[in-house]
Amino acid sequence: MSNRGEHHVVPNSDGGWDVKRENAKRASGHYETKAEAMKAGREMSRNANTELIPHKKDGTIQNPDSHGNDPCPPKDKNR
């Protein structure tokens, strides 16, 4: 994994969803719905050039989204 950082969208044990920067003790934001958390997390991630990593309710990772300079960009399949 790169050293440019990550923001995670994670379920909160008291309900709702949190956006947390990697290694942070506190959430950057708390939201009632996952959609709200994703929207806010995507904005935070874009501003900080970090990877947005959403989690499912069971904690597993779901479709990470990179912002900024991706050190491992996808290869063009048309070449």
Summarised one tens digit per residue, pLDDT across range 42-78 is: 999 999 999 999 999 999 999 877 765 555 655 655 5
Is there a domain that residue 75 lies in? no
Mean pLDDT of 27-45: 97
Residue 46 lies in a domain: yes
In a domain, 20, yes or no: yes
17 part of a folded domain: yes
Best CA proximity match to 50, nearest among 13, 20, 16: 20
First vs last Cα of the chain: how many Å apart? 26
Q: Taking residues 11-25, report their average pLDDT.
A: 96
Supply the pTM of this predicted model: 0.78
* Amino acid type, 50: T
Which candidate, 48, 50, 54, places its Cα nearest to that of 34?
54
Query: Within a 10 A sphere around the Cβ of 52, how many other Cβ atoms?
Result: 22
Residue 26 belongs to what domain range?
6-59
Strand partners, 53: 8
Number of domains in the chain: 1
Res 17: pLDDT: 98
Residue range 7-32: average pLDDT?
Answer: 96
Mean pLDDT for all residues in the chain: 86
* Domain assignment present for 73: no
AA letter at 59: G
Asked if residue 79 belongs to a domain, the reply is: no
Tell whether 12 is covered by a domain.
Answer: yes
Domain contains 40 = yes
